[in-house]
Amino acid sequence: MRWVSLIRGKRNGAWDSLSIVAGCALMALGFRLFMNGNGIVAGGVVGLSTLLERRFGWEAAGVQWGINLPLLGLGFWGLGRAAGARSALGSLVLPLLMLVTRAVPTLTQTPLLAALFGGVVYGAGLGLVLSGSGSVGGYSLFARLVTKRLPLSVSNAIFALDALTILGGGLLFGAEKAMYGLIAAFVMRRALDAVLLGFSHTKLAFVISTASDSIRAAILSELDRGLTILPGTGGYTGDPRPVLLIALGQAEVPHLRSLVRTHDPDAFVVLTDAAEVLGKGFHREA
């Protein structure tokens, strides 16, 4: 279950602002405690600020403000007030907190540990910012502006900018540091997904069988799970073929496999992860 679901429906502007500020605080700590002191560049304007700080001695927070403030102005002009306002708080607060935490010492001098823990802390912070409907500006805002003029997708534009930043880190700090930057970027993405989607232990099963009636009855009685019957048609035969959709816990998967095999050894079963399931027998929204 997404932790955000606990307070969905009760959120307001104050909560969103608190979430954005808390997320920026985590991002600043991840930057200061792990990544900046170890020269780990994981992309983004924050990574670019590390490069410029090491190369020219410019304060990282000042670099971020210097990039974000013009981008915010362009965002209000090119994307509209709503998009600009959503980026404003994080874009201004993150550099401020980077400045406030400037004296925080680096926690480890081991690059691998710095990449792993820095990625977790920074990614979790970014997840909080996004869950508060916020943004920290930077490359994402620049990419949205560029793609309005050029035939590029936002994701491709961000990927290209991040790749150039990580490459710059490799040129300045060495190839190994670029590799650690890639590790940090990967871990950061996983931490971001964990905050937004949670650690799911719920599965979705699609069962296609000629014995769908008996399998349906067994699921209802033996597995004690509800299900949905979706209309389907055999691609080869053209015959009607109901599809049973079942949401179940991870521990219940072996029971479902055994049950289906008992009623139809030739049944076609597809299992996939569910990011979140709400309703009877599962989590409910607060």
Tens of pLDDT, residue by residue over 228-267, are: 999 988 887 888 889 999 988 877 888 899 889 999 999 9
Give yes or no: residues 207 and 178 share one domain. Answer: no
Alpha helix ranges (H) inside the chain: 13-30, 44-56, 60-78, 81-100, 111-131, 139-147, 154-173, 175-197, 212-218, 253-263
- 282 inside domain: no
For 28, the token pair is 């600043």
pLDDT for res 183: 94
- Name the 3-class secondary structure at 57: coil
CATH label of the domain that carries residue 241? 3.30.70.120
On whether both 156 and 256 belong to a single domain, the answer is no
Please indicate, yes or no, whether residues 50 and 143 belong to a single structural domain of this protein. Answer: yes
Q: Among 197, 224, 248, where does a domain finish?
A: 197
Rounded to 5°, angle at Cα 53 from 48 and 57: 155
Name the residue range of residue 29's domain. 3-197
Specify whether 175 is located in the same domain as 234.
no
Whole-angstrom distance, CA of residue 115 vs CA of residue 87: 26
Residue ending a domain, choose from 197, 227, 244: 197
In-domain check, residue 145: yes
CB atoms within 10 A of CB 251: 9
In a domain, 285, yes or no: no
Cβ-contact 32, 104 below 8 angstroms: yes
The distance between the two most distant Cα atoms of the chain, rounded to a whole number of Å, is 72
Domains identified in the chain, total number: 2
- The residue among 197, 231, 259 that closes a domain is 197
193 and 206 together in one domain: no
Contact 102, 173 (CB under 8 A): no
Q: What is the mean pLDDT of residues 16-33?
A: 92
The pLDDT tens digits of the residues spanning 70-99 come to: 878 777 776 667 666 767 888 889 999 999
Residue 110 has pLDDT above 80, yes or no: yes
Please report the pLDDT score of residue 282 as a whole number.
59
Strand ranges of the sheet holding 268-274, from the earlier edge strand across to the other edge: 228-230, 243-249, 202-208, 268-274
